[in-house]
Amino acid sequence: MPYHIRAERVSDRVIVVGDPGRARLISSILEDARLVNENRGLLTYNGFWRGREVTVATHGMGGAGATIVFEELIQLGGRVMVRYGTTGGIREDVEPGDFVVPVSAFYHPGGLFKQYFGDLCVSPAPDLELTWRLSESLRGRGLRVWAAPVVSSDAFYAETPEVVKRWSEFGAVSVEMECASLFAVSRLRGVRSSSVLLVNGNILYPGKRMISEGELEDRLLAGARIILDVLAELK
C-alpha cells in the first residue's frame, strides 16, 4: 500500500482533481461511490459510471505534491488519468466558462523535472487519442473549447501579467499548476493522461467577469459527465 493514498486499489480510469470538494462533487454523480482514502485530505472515491468502474482522486495544489499522488495512483492500478480543474486565461479571447484541453504544457526548468529527468529537456504532452476524444466530446455538447498549450506554474502568486504575457506570446492560452507534471510522469511510467480545464477568470484581462460559484459548479458537473462518458467508452 502506498504511503499517502491508503487504498487497496483504484480503477484503471481515474479523474484527478486539485480540490477535495471537487472530488466530493464529482463522486456524488457516480453509482455506488465509496470513499477509499481520506489520509492527508487526499479524498479518493471508487464508483461506477454507465457500468464502468472509475476513480475520482484528489491531488492537491502544485506539481510536486500532485506528482506523488500520480505515482501512487499508478502503483494502485491507474492506467488512464484525466486532470480536471480550473485555469486562468491569458489571452483576451479566452472567456470565463470556456474549456481548455491542453495539447502540451509549458513549465519552468528545474524542480521536479530536474530531479526526474536530469539535463534532458522533456516535452510534456498528453495522450493524443484521449485528448482528441475529450475535445471532440466537449465540442459535440456545444461547449467552447480551446485545444492549445497551457502553462504549468507552481508559483501561484508569481503569475503576474508581466510574467504570463510572454507565455501567451508563445501560444499558451491559460495558466494552471499540474498538467506538465502529470503528462511528463505518465509518459515516463507508460500510462495515458490528458486534461480538461474550466476557465474561471482571466489573469491578463482582470476586467472580465469571474465565473460565479453557482455557475462554476454547474459547469464543472457538465464537464465531469462528458469526461466520465469518454472514460467509460475507452477500450
Are 204 and 165 spatial neighbours (Cβ–Cβ below 8 Å)? Answer: yes
Q: Is the pLDDT higher at 121 or at 205?
A: 121
How far apart are the C-alpha atoms of 156 and 144, rounded to whole Å? 26
CA dihedral over 187, 129, 109, 79, signed as positive or negative: negative
**Residue 162 — pLDDT band, cuts 50, 70, 90?**
confident
Is a pLDDT exceeding 90 seen at residue 205?
Answer: no
Is a pLDDT exceeding 90 seen at residue 235?
Answer: no
pLDDT of residue 158: 83
pLDDT of residue 217: 94
Is a pLDDT exceeding 90 seen at residue 164?
Answer: no
pLDDT of residue 209: 74
pLDDT of residue 48: 98
Helix locations, 95-195, DSSP H = 111-117, 128-140, 161-169, 179-189
User: Own/partner pairs for 142-146, CB < 8 Å, 24+ apart?
Assistant: 143/98, 143/99, 143/222, 143/223, 144/95, 144/97, 144/98, 144/99, 145/98, 145/99, 145/100, 145/101, 146/94, 146/98, 146/99, 146/100, 146/101, 146/173, 146/174
